[in-house]
Amino acid sequence: MQVDTDRFRDEINHIVSSQTRPTITVLSSLLATQDEFGYIPDLAIEVIAEYTNHTINEVWGVASFYPNFRFTKPGENILEICWGPTCHLAGAAKILNDIQNALGLKGEGETDSGKFTLKYNTCLGACSQAPVISINHDFIGNTTSEDILKILLKIDPKL
Ligand code: FES
């Protein structure tokens, strides 16, 4: 267990120390860590504090200020459902409800299987194709719950 932690610490240290920007800051280190893992592991807060010569509280202060940082591991696939005005008028509420039921979720978050993260989006920028979703940053417009479920089942047949 200790070996795993040491290895993980080394990995985070490598990510933080290999930044090519001229000034390495707490924020740049948090961004580099999230780019790599998709979230900020607890151990990264400690490593970044040591590397940048700040306290753990100071690093948490920066990390918790920005809503785009997440502190839990995301699912393997990121599903975003747009519920902006245009998509709402085109039936996004039904899609959201159907997909949440299929994934066993009551809101945003990760499925128990760890296969999916569901996120809401206020506009995916393709309103003319409403309703719109994205799966792993691939946009799918003019879609239906049935179309989305087919895609999700291809990713996780046990759904
Ligand atoms: S409101 Fe859904 S893509 Fe713009």
ω before 41 within 30° of 0 (cis)? no
CA atoms within 13 A on the CB side of 102: 24
Best residue among 81, 87, 140 to mutate for probing ligand 1's pocket (most ligand atoms within 8 Å of CB) is 87
DSSP single-letter state for residue 90: T
Model confidence, pTM: 0.77
Interacting residues of 43 by C-beta distance below 8 A, sequence separation 6+:
5, 8, 9, 12
The secondary structure element, H or E, covering residue 104 is none
CA atoms within 13 A on the CB side of 15: 24
- Ligand 1 centroid to 137 CA: how many Å? 14
Query: What confidence tens digit (pLDDT) does each residue in 20-78 have?
Result: 988 999 999 999 999 999 999 999 999 999 999 999 999 999 999 999 899 999 999 99
Taking the domains of the chain in order of start, what are their residue ranges?
A: 2-65, 77-155
Query: What confidence tens digit (pLDDT) does each residue in 96-140 have?
Result: 999 999 999 999 999 999 999 999 999 999 999 999 999 999 999
- Ligand 1 centroid to 16 CA: how many Å? 36
Atom of ligand 1 nearest to the CA of 123: 4
**CA–CA distances in Å: residue 100 to residues 30, 117, 119, 154:** 31, 11, 10, 17
CATH topology of domain 77-155: Glutaredoxin (3.40.30)
